Structure 1
Amino acid sequence: MESKRQQKFAGVLQQDLAAIFQREGMNFLPNTLVTITKVRVTPDLAIARVFLSFFNNTNTQQALQLVKSHSSEIRYKLGARIKDQVRVIPQLEFFVDDTNEYVERMDKIFEKISKEPRQPDDEQQ
C-alpha cells in the first residue's frame, strides 16, 4: 500500500514524464505515441517504476530498450522540471504496461465463448 506522499509524488512524476515524452519522444521514437500509464515510487522516493504503453508500434520490446537507452537523458530533463520540489531525482526504471493487450485478448476469448452454441441444461433428472 502506497502512502499519500508516494501517490502524490508518483502523480507529479507521471505528469512531468508525460510532458517530456510528448515534446521529446519523437527524437528517439519516431511515429510512436508513448503513454505513461502508471508510476510507482519506492517509500524512500529514490526509485520510480514507470509503466509505458506504446501506440503505433509493432515491437514494444525494442521500443522499451530504446527508452531505457535514453533513460539518463530523460532523468536529466525530469530533474530540470522537478528540481525545486524534491531533494533527490529518482532513478527511473521502465516497464511495458501490457494491460491493453490483456484486455484485447480477454475480449477475443469472451467473443469466442459467446459465439459457441450453448449446452443444454441437464438440471432435470
Structure 2
Amino acid sequence: MDASRLDRLERQVQKDLAEIFREIAQNQFRGIVFTVTRVRISPDLSIGRVNISLFPVKDKALVLDWIKEHGSLIKDRLVRKMKGSLRKVPDFYFYLDESVDAEAEIDRILKEGGDSPIK
C-alpha cells in the first residue's frame, strides 16, 4: 500500500476508534476520557499499533487490560464502522501513551518552581 493511502487509512482508523472508545467510556468507564493519540499500520495491513491516552485514571493498566481482553469486540465494531472498505483488517495492539502524563508532570514541576534536579 502506498504511503498516502496508508496515512489516510491510519487517520480514518484513528477517528473511528476514537468514536468507539467514546461509546465504551459511556457504557463501561464513566468519567474517563479516551484519546486515540496515534495509529500506525504496517504496509501489509497485518498489524496496527494504537496509542491511547486515558484521563483521569488512577489504574491505567486495569483499563488497558480490559481493552486488550475486548480487542476482538473493538475490532468488530471498527469493521462495521468502516463498512467493509478494507479487504483485510489488521490485528490491533493497544498501548498507553504516557506523553500526556509526562507533559503534566513537567508543567507541575515548572509551576512549583521547585528544586532543579540539575545542580
Specify the TM-score bucket, using the shorter chain as the normaliser: 0.7 to 0.9
Measured in 2, the distance between the counterparts of 1:51 and 1:15 equals 13
Contact 1:28–1:66 (8 Å) recurs in 2: no
| Residue 54 of structure 1 pairs with residue 54 of structure 2 | yes
Task: Give the secondary structure class of the aligned counterpart of 2:14.
Answer: helix
- Indicate the larger mover: 36-45 or 23-32: 23-32
Between the aligned partners of 1:31 and 1:104, the Cα distance in structure 2 is: 19
The unaligned stretches of length 5 or more in structure 1 are 117-125
Paired with 1:93 and 1:41, the residues of 2 have a C-alpha distance of 10
> Displacement of 1:84 after TM fit?
2.6
Kindly tell me: are residues 33 and 109 of structure 1, through their superposed partners in 2, closer, same or farther at Cα, counting changes over 3 Å?
closer
* CA distance in structure 1 between the partners assigned to 2:30 and 2:69 by the alignment: 15
Q: Could you tell me the percent identity over the aligned residues? A: 29
Please say which structure displays the higher CA radius of gyration. 1
The runs of 4+ residues in structure 1 deviating greater than 6 Å are: none
Aligned-residue offset at 1:110: 4.2
> Partner of 1:4: helix, strand, or coil?
helix
The equivalent residue for 1:76 is: 76
In structure 2, distance between residues paired with 1:56 and 1:104: 12
Return 5+ residue gaps in structure 2 as ranges.
none
Aligned length: 115
For 1:101 and 1:55, locate their aligned partners in 2 and report how far apart those are by CA, in whole Å: 9
Q: CA deviation at 1:107?
A: 2.9
Q: Give the structure 2 partner of residue 23 of structure 1.
A: 23
TM-score, normalisation: structure 1: 0.79
1:36 maps to amino acid = V
Q: Root-mean-square deviation (CA), in Å? A: 2.2
